[in-house]
């Protein structure tokens, strides 16, 4: 698939490296191709295509938003035309706020986009190394139950995670709560950033 990743930091760089290794055409969109983070990404992934946000989006089928939460309103407004109809993955978090995600902001700017909420509820280190004691980490996500969903399952699996679809975006607060739980366990209960929840069944 043609994947545009907006943001070349921890989340964007980690996901992009994995998908490039899996054979996808990955282009990173950044505001500054010479930023410290862009340079670090080029060192880690010498063949990385790093371009402007507009150029990265032009040909993409899937768009991953991996920039700070507060940047998303402007990003989607400025690029609404090229984002129309695309699969958009919102990874952004505004922990502590009433609404942690950017779903409403994205949908208001791009009503035709198919928005998924994924890669928000675990730390980037777990996306880089998704096995714990030989077990594959589960990744809980939500989004439309349509023909885009199998592609999301595949993209999550290519990161090395086990995808668990929780429902449409009607349950986005549940997916966000898993992120809040992860953060609370780490920052208030002293667990390391390498913890994850596992769905078990008999
Ligand atoms: N870190 C985690 O473990 C984690 C886990 C789940 C979700 N998230 C969410 O994922 C998103 C990215 O987190 P991160 O840890 O990858 O952050 P990061 O390492 O700080 O990277 C952020 C990226 O966003 C870019 N950026 C900042 N302001 C921008 C703007 N106005 N327009 C365009 N690009 C801009 C930065 O560009 P420059 O290179 O120019 O600075 C950088 O490439 C956040 O919303 C965060 O809440 C993070």
- Mutate which of 4, 5, 9 for ligand 1 pocket (most atoms within 8 A of beta carbon): 9
For residue 144, report the distance from its CA to the centre of ligand 1, in Å: 25
Helix (H) or strand (E) holding 74: helix 72-78
Which residue has its alpha carbon closest to ligand 1 atom 47? 93
The string of pLDDT tens digits covering residues 91-143 is 999 999 999 999 999 999 999 999 999 999 999 999 999 999 999 999 999 99
The string of pLDDT tens digits covering residues 142-198 is 999 999 999 999 999 999 999 999 999 999 999 999 999 999 999 999 999 999 999
CA 133 vs CA 138, 147, 164: distances in Å:
13, 34, 20
Mean of the per-residue pLDDT values for the chain?
Answer: 97
pLDDT band at 53 (very low <50, low <70, confident <90, very high): very high
pLDDT value, residue 166: 98
pLDDT value, residue 133: 95
Question: What is the SS3 assignment for 195?
Answer: coil
**CA dihedral (31, 36, 38, 39) positive or negative:** positive
pLDDT band at 46 (very low <50, low <70, confident <90, very high): very high
The string of pLDDT tens digits covering residues 16-36 is 999 999 999 999 999 999 999
Q: Confirm or reject: Cβ of 35 under 6 Å from ligand 1.
A: yes
Gap between the Cα atoms of 157 and 136, Å rounded: 10
Structure tokens at 153: 């399952």
Domains of the chain and any CATH numbers: 2-187 (3.40.50.720)
Gap between the Cα atoms of 186 and 194, Å rounded: 9
For residue 201, report the distance from its CA to the centre of ligand 1, in Å: 35
> Does this model's pTM top 0.95?
yes
């Amino acid at each position: 698939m043609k994947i545009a990743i907006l943001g070349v930091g921890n989340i964007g760089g980690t996901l992009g490296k994995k998908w490039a290794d899996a054979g996808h055409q990955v282009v990173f969109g950044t505001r500054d191709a010479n930023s410290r983070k862009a340079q670090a990404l080029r060192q880690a992934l010498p063949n990385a295509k790093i371009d402007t946000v507009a150029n990265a989006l032009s040909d993409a089928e899937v768009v991953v938003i991996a920039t700070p939460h507060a940047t998303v309103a402007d990003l989607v407004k400025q690029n609404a035309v090229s984002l129309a109809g695309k699969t958009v993955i919102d990874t952004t978090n505004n922990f502590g706020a009433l609404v942690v995600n950017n779903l409403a902001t994205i949908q208001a700017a791009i009503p035709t986009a198919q928005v998924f909420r994924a890669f928000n509820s675990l730390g980037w280190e777990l996306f880089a190394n998704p096995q714990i004691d030989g077990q594959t980490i589960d990744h809980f996500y939500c989004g439309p139950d349509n023909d885009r969903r199998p592609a999301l399952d595949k993209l999550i699996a290519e990161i090395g995670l086990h995808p668990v679809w929780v429902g449409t975006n009607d349950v986005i607060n549940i997916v966000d709560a898993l992120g809040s739980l992860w953060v609370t366990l780490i920052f208030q209960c002293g667990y390391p950033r390498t913890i994850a929840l596992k769905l078990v069944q008999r």
